[in-house]
Structure 1
Amino acid sequence: MKYTLTLIGNSAASLRDEHVEAAFEILPQATAPNWLAKGMACDIEFESEGGKRPESALRAHLASANLDIVVQPTEGRRKKLLVADMDSTIIQQECIDELAAELGIKKQIAAITERAMQGEIAFEPALRERVGLLKGLPLEALEKVYHERITETPGGRALVRTMRAHGHACALVSGGFNFFTERVAHSVGFNTNQANRLVFIDGKLSGGIAEPILGREAKIDALIKLREELSLKRHETLAVGDGANDLGMIEEAGLGVAFHAKPVVAEAADARIDHGDLTALLYMQGYREDDIVEV
């Protein structure tokens, strides 16, 4: 069976010829390297009997290089649907933690967030508890957090706009809040977005959240629904996230990517990006530097 290894550099660690040569020492029946972006990304096709995939050996061999290493079947790499998590994936923050900072309780809420993302506690009750602690926060504070505290993850706009330029669909699916997903989706360029709805009374958070809570199962359902609406096969879909509530959709997608993720997610995903930005998701699909839409 034919596989493709994609070696991906980043702003702190460029990809060099010596890294490619080191990969050749591990790969069976490898073809000549195909540079997607000089100093940044390179494909190497190889054949493997019995479907043996050498990621572990490659990571050990190139451990000091701080590169991302993705191995996948060569056929069907280009995906037609992207479903992405928002917090700590498309943006660099956890929105609920930044809201908590407005009340001086960020440390308390962030600790709960971390446990939920690690999969140590259930997502839904953890979300109810954290939202309850935000009771009384005015709408103006949410606007302030969005404008002053939320930053997009580098490469996100290029990822979404390049895929859409090639006729593919992109959906932002979050266990966070629609107040933020609507704004982030518009800014980054997603086709659609969904998230939980906060309850306001007289312009302030009531401490409640509209039911049903959208968590792990809602993300899986969103992926399946979009896949069916677009008449796509499973292998034509891509999902990316970082936390335990993303595991379901990552496992349901044709290619599930753990992005700077919690260990439980990185271990379960088909691919992991530990060093690079979101343009890595383009390179792993075989997009070349010239294909990427500049933003």
Structure 2
Amino acid sequence: MYIVTLLTSPAKPSLSREAVEALRNAWGGGDAQWLAVGEAAEFVIGEMPSNLWDVWGAMQGEGVDLIVLPMEGRKKKMLLADMDSTMIQQECIDELAAEAGVGPRVAEITAKAMNGELDFEGAIDERVGLLKDLPESIIDHVLNTRIEFMPGGKVLVQTMKANGGYSALVSGGFTAFTAKVASELGFDENRANTLEIADDKLTGKVIRPILGREAKLEALDEITARLGITREDVLAVGDGMNDVLMLKNAGTGVALHGKPALQEQCDVRINHGDLTALLYVQGYSKAEFI
């Protein structure tokens, strides 16, 4: 058995009863249940639809995300999340670069790296090299003036936590940022790269080893082993190609407003909803949100 979830932007709810019922009838589904009126609904079907991606494309044009997942093991025991452009709306390194006056150059490299066009380790070295001699204090300045949380993030973390879930923030960004983001959103732990600092300035280097796509997969396996759960118990979310291994190996891997190359690799793609979409796909109703 499979569960079909349709959802849209909470800021502009536009999911109509007619659209839900039309798809339910076309796919021979069970009675539709509304998780949030106008925002998210679900119904059960007996088999994976052969025309899923055609329908998905049509729904995208209507501002609706469509997800089909097995019913079994739907609610997850752990959240494994990327940070930049996932739990926050910015790329931290791009914001640091803007302060250093090299914003456009670094943003160009970031975009290519996140779409898998550049080697991640080489790209991070090149970008951090352009930040050499920035004062360490610039990190707090960026955190306080440039960083905004992605809508729904705290609700996602706290709702899963209230239902016994564990949460880990695993980023190709920097510990100076993940520590604060993890603390404010309620993550149980965080992992990221560390900027080398000497004499209160950035040296332009990243302390080894670099946390890239392989390290994110390692984090998935290390944390689940420690908790005594399996990969299938994990909901993972990210937006770039450095997230691809953890997304493809987690029980449910979600490309949230993902780069085109990542979306091609993921069966769960959220382009209109916010982070609360990750609760809807697990079957939580809005009334259950924390």
Fold shared by both chains (TM-score > 0.5) = yes
2:252 aligns with 255
**Mapping for residues 76-95 of structure 1, pairs under 5 Å:** 76-95=73-92
Which of 270, 282, 287 is matched with 1:285 structurally? 282
2:180 aligns with 183
1:240 aligns with 237
1:26 aligns with 26
1:137 aligns with 134
Q: Report the Cα offset of residue 219 of structure 1.
A: 0.4
Query: Secondary structure at 1:139's aligned position in 2?
Result: coil
Larger deviation, residues 59-68 vs 216-225: 59-68
Alignment-mate amino acid for residue 94 of structure 1: E
Q: Does 1:46 align with 2:32?
A: no
Larger deviation, residues 229-238 vs 138-147: 229-238
Q: Is the 8 A contact 1:13 1:65 kept in 2?
A: no
Alignment-mate amino acid for residue 253 of structure 1: A
Which of 111, 114, 123 is matched with 1:114 structurally? 111
Query: Secondary structure at 1:167's aligned position in 2?
Result: coil
Q: Distance in 2 between matches of 1:226 and 1:290?
A: 30
Q: Is the 8 A contact 1:128 1:208 kept in 2?
A: yes
1:58 aligns with 55
2:273 aligns with 276
What TM-score do you get using the length of structure 1 for normalisation?
0.95
Q: Distance in 2 between matches of 1:98 and 1:141?
A: 10
Q: Distance in 1 between matches of 2:162 and 2:131?
A: 40
1:72 aligns with 69
CA deviation map 1:185-229 (0-9, x unaligned) = 001110000000001111000111100111111100001111111
CA deviation map 1:28-67 (0-9, x unaligned) = x31010111111111110111xx44543132244343201
Q: How many residues align?
A: 289
Q: Report the Cα offset of residue 111 of structure 1.
A: 0.4
Q: Is the 8 A contact 1:7 1:41 kept in 2?
A: yes
Point out where structure 1 has 5 or more consecutive residues left out of the alignment: none
Alignment-mate amino acid for residue 195 of structure 1: A
Q: Distance in 1 between matches of 2:133 and 2:29?
A: 61
Point out where structure 2 has 5 or more consecutive residues left out of the alignment: none
1:225 aligns with 222
Q: Is the 8 A contact 1:26 1:58 kept in 2?
A: no
Q: Is the 8 A contact 1:258 1:273 kept in 2?
A: yes
Q: Does 1:159 align with 2:156?
A: yes
Query: Secondary structure at 1:77's aligned position in 2?
Result: coil
Q: Distance in 1 between matches of 2:83 and 2:53?
A: 29
Q: Distance in 2 between matches of 1:42 and 1:222?
A: 33
Q: Distance in 2 between matches of 1:81 and 1:112?
A: 32
Alignment-mate amino acid for residue 96 of structure 1: I
Q: Distance in 1 between matches of 2:219 and 2:62?
A: 37
Distance 1:54 1:30, change over 3 A: same
Percent same amino acid among aligned pairs?
Answer: 48
Q: Report the Cα offset of residue 169 of structure 1.
A: 0.3
Which of 187, 194, 199 is matched with 1:197 structurally? 194
Q: CA RMSD in A?
A: 1.1
Q: Distance in 2 between matches of 1:281 and 1:67?
A: 14
What TM-score do you get using the length of structure 2 for normalisation?
0.97
Alignment-mate amino acid for residue 292 of structure 1: F
